[in-house]
Structure 1
Amino acid sequence: MSVSENAGTGPERRAVLKAGIGGAALAVTGLGTVAARPASAAELPPLAAGRRDGKDWRSYVRAPAGRTVRPVRVVSSTGDVTDADALLKPGGGVTVLTRPAPVAPPAWPQGTTAAASSTHAPNSGDDGTPRTYDASNAIDGDPGTFWNDDTIGVYPDTLTITAPQAVSLPGVTLLSGSDGVPTDFTVDTWDGTAWRTAATVTGNSDVQRPVPFASPVSTTRVRITVTGDQQTSAGEFTRVNEVYPGVVDPVAAPGVLVDFGQVVVGFPTVRFAWASSGNPGVRLAFSETLEYLTDRSDFTRSDQSGGQGQGTDQFAVPSAGATWTDDRRGYRSGGNQVYADGLHGFRYLRITLDALAADAPAARAWGKVAVDTVSLDFTGYLGTPDTFAGWFLSSDDDLNRYWYGAAYTNELVTDTFRTDDVDPRGADSPTLDGKLVLHDGAKRDRDPYVGDLAVSARTLYLTHPDASAAARDVLADLADHQRDDGWIPPASINGYTLPLFDYPLWWVTCSWDYLLHTGDHDYATRYYPALGKLLDSWYPSVTDGDGLLNKGLNGTSGYGDYAFLPRSGQITYYNANYVQALNDAAALAGWLGHTADADRWTARARSVADAINAHLWDASAGAYLDSATGDVRHAQDGNSIAITAGVADPTRAASALAHLDATTKLPYGNAFMDNDTIFADASKRVYAFTSYPELVARFRSGQADSAVDQIKRTYGWMDAHDPGTTNWEGIGPDGTPYEQAYTSMAHGWSTGVLPALTRDLLGAEPTAPGFTTWQVTPHPGTVAWAQGRLPTPHGPLTVSWDNPGSGAFTLDVDAPHGTTGTVAVPVPAAGQRFTVRLDGRTAWDGTRAAVRGARLDDGRLLLPDLGPGRHTVTVHPAGHR
């Protein structure tokens, strides 16, 4: 979540931040802005160099060295495969997959029928072809069709097959889809008067499961009763593609599973050296985790639009071989055969000699295929050490690793908007095609959402500001699609119509954040009218008599939010977000000289904040309610943003954070709700998206060690579990991906650890558009040292500090020309004497300021109006040498 530049612990801090926007106060020398004092190298500690104590920030960078990325290991192979490791050695031989022609499975006699307890309703694919799921598909001899029951998690599901005359069965074989395998079922046969159980199966996970009977049975009817199915992101449902009247042992399809070492994104390329005649097919399955890689991908865009590829990408290999790049979505043969999905985000890739039944004769499932190499054309931002304009390094190796893992996650989603690559659910847009954007995820949804930008854009500005157009393109495009009533869409999905209640507020905050980092005056002036229309037209239309946003007014009862939560009425999160957006809008208006707007929005922000405290504070819990009505619960999002937006005073802030500590702490982060009244297991779900403002709230409320602990639980969990490195969309019960295979395991909205460490632990951030003014307020906790560089339009702002303990502290800042700033260093607790020196001169003599403007505030000494160049501040407790 984005945190506004004037968010903090109260009016004192806001006054400090605003001091440099409209003209600084007299400088501490009395002669203007404090200039850096020339000094010899011996007088000042070494400036941050990006290397210390054997650590070098460059060693943590995770992006590949070039656009062509190759797998790093072979995980396993199945079936008849020779020299699987050759895939890792370009020019070092070939991997050969061999599969004999299949023996035709037994078929039911003509006139056999099938009936089921329920049947899922038909639908159509993108090509308009009707797809049916009725029971007859289980006996039609086509494994590409299937029966689906019409209930999710409701049992039993029954399939009854009736033959026109008695058949002798040694057993049966169930062929199912990998996303609906019956795990527990019985097979009954009809003896003419009653059903007899012929076999019972439990714990099945095989797509093709032979079920032999104890002895052959002669019968006219077979009943399969399913009492358990595999769990998928869509729920538990029964899927049976075929029931063969006999025992058919599966022949393992030859395949190789390779690992690219971490999530990558782009166009997979496979070089085939040769193949047998008849166009043997290969199927490619992709997954970000091993757990959700089966004979199909964890997710494909065709899953969202009719399932043409049935979970894999297909290619028919010519006998002369070919170099195939999976670079477009669609059919590759005959107009409706051999489907591939194009771009993929994945870590693991399985290549199998196989073909869909529907692809015959263009591709067949047997023969020989020789694979020379496998690679990927990487399409994300290539974040090599020489591209990082900003960096971070600290004494804590875990924090360093998480910072660069977040940077890499964000690089994966910084990409060109392309028709074939984006969410197929009406998200393609001619006004975005070909432009650089920030997608939400590497594998899905692959559409730019403005709420995601509240985190991912800030991560981008702090690492690769040369790509800041990726944020501007999205913000401008959404404003260009503003509705007549002032509402701004959250994304291009569904033709810019997806109704979200909170995301227009994020558009305001993201716009201000963009300006803080870039100073793009043209953007500000062009889209200022859209901002005014949103805040003075649409949001007032959903404001109630208490002065609070009220979801349900003006036809908004069906609107969602970042998690499509069933919330309505007065919600703390929406209203705290409103305060944040109003203050951000006021700052933007002030910068453009629209003082009346700035004053009006500032006054409204105060009024909404007062109403939140009057109507949504739960004194008994010591935290803000999620909703003023209905079940009592307290949410991470509302409580955290109430603190960062300045709604909560320090007492309420401390109380709310204590409540979250007591009710939401998990081994894998802090849950976003303190109970399960909004949905089952809500108190076990962690969103890094809503964890970011809580991290900021903890740092800025003097709880740095608590923030670091939360970082290590949240990001440490993701770093230690497959796929490693990248940041998950959400974490569910027991630390699992919260929507199983559907979960995006590389999601830009989860990269808040990076701005939290740079802006709050290191402590540096802009306070006026274009970084013309800045602030450095370290929150070190028990971290021994940190250093970093922030890119600005004027050049880098470099910061380094040492925190040796006992109240001593050294801060080193090198600021670019054209900027001024404020530093606020931590000082010993009240009652302990100390002195502070600024550039070798006394700034605090132990009892009072020795330079103009220096003052104590909430455990810090503030030194305003520092000019460009090198500055060093040292805190010396009494008796410390």
Structure 2
Amino acid sequence: MHRLRATVSAALLSSTALAVPYAEYILAPSQRDLAPVTVHRANGTVINAAGVTSSGTGGTTFNSVSAVTYDYSKNIGGLVSFAVSSSSDSDQYIGISFTESSVWISPHGSDATQNIGIDETLWFKITGPGNYSVAPLHDRGGFRYLNVYHNTTGNVTLSHLQTYFTAMPHFPDDGIGKYTGYFHSNDEKLNRVWYAGAYTDQLCTIPSTAGNSLVDLDATDPDIPTVWWSNSTLTNGTSAFTDGPKRDKLVWPGDFAISVPGVFLSTDDAITVKLSLQQLFASQNTTTGALPWFAQPIYTFPENSFISFGKEVFSFNYHLFTLLGLNNYWIYTGDDEYLQNNWNRFKLALNYSLSFVDETGLANVTSSFDWLREGMGGHNIEANSILKHTLDVAVTLAYAVNDTAHVATWTNASTAIATAANTLLWDSTASLYKDNETATLHPQDGNVWSIISGLATANRSTAVSSALAARWGPYGAPAPEAGTTVSPFITGFELQAHFLAGAPQRAIDLMRFMWADFMLDDPRMTNSTYIEGYDTSGALHYPAYEDDARISHSHGWSSGPVLALSTFAAGLHVLNKTSWVAHPQPGNLTHVEAGFKVGHGSYAANYSVVAKSARYIFSTPSGTKGSLVLDTPSCDGNVSITGNIGSLGGKKSFKWSKQINSHGSSSKPWNCGVWGPTPSSRSLSAEGTITIDGLTGGNYTVEVTCM
């Protein structure tokens, strides 16, 4: 059996001594030694195939050429071990192969980590009774189905079969499922969606020495199984946060842009995020400031063309995603020292991005490497929206480190991007932004980011949200910049965009049918983790790869609903370690609650509707300050707020109430408005929201009652 030493201190997990809310939804195992749950399929002559499952008894005997596919009921990852109680002779062989989707089950190999063909089966010569284990070199980070294949005459009897779960290697063996965050609502689909997103992020947290070596990435013969190893070293610590546990098993900054907040909202695994970010900064070109497309492994053997290629290629957007990753880490940890240590790297990188800005005020993008989209050049709307957002983030961080010398420059550049993009790239006929001045394409990514970045005005954000929703197909939101692709990565950002545009119901509906109905419940999926991408027809095809078996079915960049539900639906927006905004946007949910613990304290919120009244209870850490934003209800009524603030022994009461006028249909007691600019303190805003500023961290109850 294999054991990895846990390195998270008891203090870091002290909260787990208490009951974990809604633990019944958590997919992470309660311990690391996992037996298969059921027999998915048996071929040939197998006696008592279920004997080595978690509910079975007795041994399982393979006679002559025979195989059993075992189902763990969910995607897992780790090192397989089995015990042989007897064999007919000392020249028997057992083969082990893996797959995430049932589509690719085969005794002849595993679903692919390479670009063509399938991965080779792992063969064990059975010389007699004893224990046999997969070497760490072949740590399979993502699989639901385990195929055991006997390919010789004679027989072998297994008395035991298990997988040692290697994800989250720095967590205690019994602490993997003890989340520091939770979510629950009256919609079971959304409950499952949140926890599958959190679990996807967990599987993407792998041993730092189990990175993908991609040794046969350039293989050309689909009929010859390819060699696969997992022996790259990715960080200077125990763990690494990667794009996927099966492949690429590398540190990609694009994934960080959406999955890092989900990590903090579920497990608060700050150390893995920190280690992985540091490896991205360690790969920076110290002359130009360019940051890598992906972090270069510390150790790779043998060298391969893809890793070497990654040393040279530059991606305009992934470069910026590293900077946004640092911001996300700082927001939730408040780690000022880490921010300060990387501040000069941040400035050098941002200055490199600004070197692409031309006389129009927009960056003229020359790199073609992004998340998969076809084309990227010129005054690209996605790239410029992300650059504007990063510039705005940089201003905030500059004040945090007390280095404001570039604030005016960054502010002016941000304003210039918004002005130029709205002049040159807006298509009023389509109510969407064009990819660039010469394009007819209206991309999903650029339009989504136009809202997130604030490049789009409030009216245009509303129009973009509506136009994007009009393009949805039965399997989700299309990304026409990548052909006939549905990208859960970009659609995760689209969820945020709909909330920001004041259309939370669209985001909730999209999570229901795209993430729950298809990405979880389709029988080709793992029912536990989220696929990397697929075709608009519902086919499991992703145009980045020649081989559909290569698609990852556990990809962190598809975990966007964790952020969408905790931050937007439940309304818990953490700005930094001292500031927050509470703004619930529950759509048609009648109950939603969320909570999480991060370095500077705990956050919780609970929203519920009864008849023509609504209640929102929320708590924020002592020593913080924030604002409450409420979308005005659709009736004449009253809003009252009471609070209990301050530290123990110095508690103070807070009371506020106001009569409100109707804002919509009386059939909807909590109508959604727009999260626009913060209006004056304790007033009704023109955007249909009530905002109360200057609240001290504490416990608050909001009552909305319709007349």
**By how many angstroms is 1:385 displaced?**
8.2
* C-alpha contact 1:288 1:298 (8 A) present in aligned 2: no
Q: Distance in 2 between matches of 1:732 and 1:472?
A: 34
Q: 1:843 to 1:649 in 2, by over 3 A?
A: same
From 37, 42, 64, the counterpart of 1:72: 37
Q: CA deviation at 1:278?
A: 3.8
**Equivalent-residue separation in structure 1 for 2:370 and 2:691 (angstroms):** 39
> Could you tell me how far apart the structure 2 residues matched to 1:594 and 1:276 are?
74
Cα distance change, pair 487–349 in 1 and its aligned pair in 2 (3 A): same
Partner SS for 2:194 = helix
**Are positions 1:864 and 2:696 aligned together?**
no
Measure the CA separation in 1 of the matches of 2:541 and 2:54.
Answer: 37
Q: 1:474 to 1:842 in 2, by over 3 A?
A: closer
Give the equivalent residue in structure 1 for 2:245: 442
**2:481 is the alignment partner of 1:668:** no
- Please report how far the alpha carbon of residue 95 of structure 1 lies from its aligned counterpart in structure 2 after TM superposition: 1.3
User: Is 2:209–2:234's contact at 8 Å kept on the other side of the alignment?
Assistant: no
1:712, distance to aligned residue in structure 2 (A) = 0.9
Q: Is the 8 A contact 1:281 1:366 kept in 2?
A: no
Does residue 753 in structure 1 map to residue 561 in structure 2? yes
**282 and 50 in structure 1: CA distance in 2 versus 1, 3 angstrom threshold:** closer
- CA apart distance, 1:543: 2.4
- What's 1:853 paired with? 681
Matched position secondary structure for 2:30: coil
Pair 1:541-2:355 in alignment = yes
Task: Confirm or deny: 8 A CA contact 1:263 1:345 kept in the other structure.
Answer: yes
- Which amino acid is the alignment partner of residue 352 of structure 1? Y
How far is the alpha carbon of 1:855 from its aligned partner?
1.3
Secondary structure of the 1:599 match is helix
- The match for 2:397 is 588
Structure 1 residue 605, shift from structure 2 partner:
1.0
Residues in 1 aligned to 2:251 and 2:337: alpha-carbon distance in whole angstroms:
22
Residues 1:373 and 2:177 are matched in the alignment: no
Displacement after TM superposition at 1:433 (Å): 5.3
TM-score (norm 1): 0.68
Distance 1:50 1:813 in 2: 20
What is the rounded CA distance, in whole Å, between the counterparts of 2:602 and 2:276 in structure 1?
Answer: 26
Equivalent residue runs for 1:142-541 within 5 Å: 253-301=65-113, 303=114, 311-318=120-127, 320-329=128-137, 341-354=138-151, 365-381=152-168, 387-419=178-210, 421=212, 423-424=214-215, 432=235, 434-465=237-268, 467-483=269-285, 484-492=287-295, 494-495=307-308, 496-497=310-311, 498-536=313-351, 538-541=352-355
- In the alignment, which residue of structure 1 is the partner of 2:505? 705
Indicate if the aligned counterparts of 1:343 and 1:421 stay in contact, CA closer than 8 A. no
Task: State how far apart, in whole Å, the 2-side matches of 1:277 and 1:385 are.
Answer: 41
1:451–1:562 contact (8 Å) kept in structure 2 = yes
The 3 A distance-change label for structure 1 pair 603 and 296 is farther
CA gap of 1:501–1:477, structure 2 versus 1, over 3 A, is: same
Q: Is the 8 A contact 2:290 2:349 kept in 1?
A: yes
Cα deviation, residue 349, structure 1: 1.1
Q: Residue 577 of structure 1: SS of its match in structure 2?
A: helix
Relative distance call for 1:90 and 1:710 in structure 2 (3 A) is closer
For residues 515-568 of structure 1, what are the alpha-carbon distances to aligned partners after superposition, in whole Å with 9 as ceiling and x for unaligned?
0100111111111111111111x213322321212222xxx3xx3101153332
- Aligned positions, number: 625
Aligned to 2:614: 809
Rounded to whole Å, the distance in 1 between the matches of 2:400 and 2:150 is 62
Give, in angstroms, the shift of residue 828 of structure 1: 2.1
Q: Secondary structure at the match of 2:391?
A: helix
Give 2:464's aligned amino acid. Answer: A
3-state SS, counterpart of residue 470 of structure 1: helix
Name the larger-Rg structure.
Answer: 1
Whole-angstrom CA distance in 2 between matches of 1:384 and 1:793: 18
What is the distance in 2 between the residues matched to 1:755 and 1:523?
Answer: 23
Q: CA deviation at 1:294?
A: 2.1
Give the C-alpha shift of residue 260 in structure 1: 0.5
Task: State how far apart, in whole Å, the 2-side matches of 1:459 and 1:400 are.
Answer: 14
**713, 731, 737: which one pairs with 2:534?**
731
> How much is the aligned-residue C-alpha RMSD, in angstroms?
2.5
CA–CA distance in structure 1, aligned partners of residues 243 and 250 of structure 2: 6
Matched AA of 2:419:
D
Which residue is 1:794 aligned to?
A: 600
In the alignment, structure 1 residue 844 sits paired with structure 2 residue 635:
no
Whole-angstrom distance in 1 between the partners of 2:626 and 2:91: 67
SS at match of 1:387: coil
- Assess, with a 3 A threshold, how the Cα gap between structure 1 residues 297 and 832 changes in structure 2: closer, same or farther: farther
What's the CA shift for 1:756? 0.2
| Partner-residue secondary structure (3-state), 1:666 | coil
- Separation of aligned partners in 2, 1:454 and 1:63: 23
Q: CA deviation at 1:629?
A: 2.0
Contact 1:263–1:723 (Cα < 8 Å) also in 2: yes
Q: Give the 5 Å matches for 1:626-775.
A: 626-630=435-439, 632-662=440-470, 664-673=471-480, 682=483, 684-716=484-516, 717-721=518-522, 722-739=525-542, 740-768=548-576, 770=577, 772-775=578-581
SS in 2 for 1:818: coil
Alignment-mate amino acid for residue 379 of structure 2 = Q
Write out per-residue CA displacement over residues 400-455 of structure 1, whole angstroms, 9 at most, x where no aligned residue: 11000111111111122115655447997667254321111121111110111112
Which one of the candidate residues 604, 610, 613 is aligned to 2:413? Answer: 604
CA distance in 1, matches of 2:636, 2:158: 72
* Distance in 1 between residues matched to 2:19 and 2:682, nearest whole Å: 30
Q: Name the SS for the 1:78 alignment partner.
A: strand
Runs of at least 5 residues in structure 2 that lack an aligned partner in the other structure:
1-17, 218-228, 297-306, 543-547, 644-652, 662-679
In the other structure, the counterpart of 1:60 is 25
Please say if residues 623 and 634 of structure 1, whose CA atoms lie closer than 8 Å, have aligned partners that are also in contact: yes
User: Would the alpha carbon gap of residues 738 and 313 (structure 1) be closer, same or farther in structure 2, given more than 3 Å must change?
Assistant: same
> CA 1:264–1:540 in 2, change beyond 3 Å: closer, same or farther?
same
* Structure 1 portions without partners, runs of 5+: 1-48, 100-252, 330-340, 355-364
| Greater RCO (CA < 8 Å, at least 6 residues apart) | 1
Q: Aligned partners of 2:132, 2:415: CA distance in 1, in Å? A: 60
Rounded to whole Å, the distance in 1 between the matches of 2:54 and 2:381 is 57
When residues 750 and 275 of structure 1 are mapped into structure 2, their CA distance, relative to the original with a 3 A threshold, is same
Please give the TM-score of this superposition, normalised by the length of structure 2.
0.84
Given that residues 718 and 724 in structure 1 are in contact (C-alpha distance below 8 angstroms), is that contact kept between their aligned partners in structure 2? yes
Aligned mate of 1:93, from 58, 61, 65: 58
Q: Work out whether residues 450 and 474 of structure 1, in 8 Å CA contact, stay in contact via their aligned partners in 2.
A: no
> Offset of 1:274 from its aligned partner?
2.3
| Residue 574 of structure 1, CA deviation | 0.6
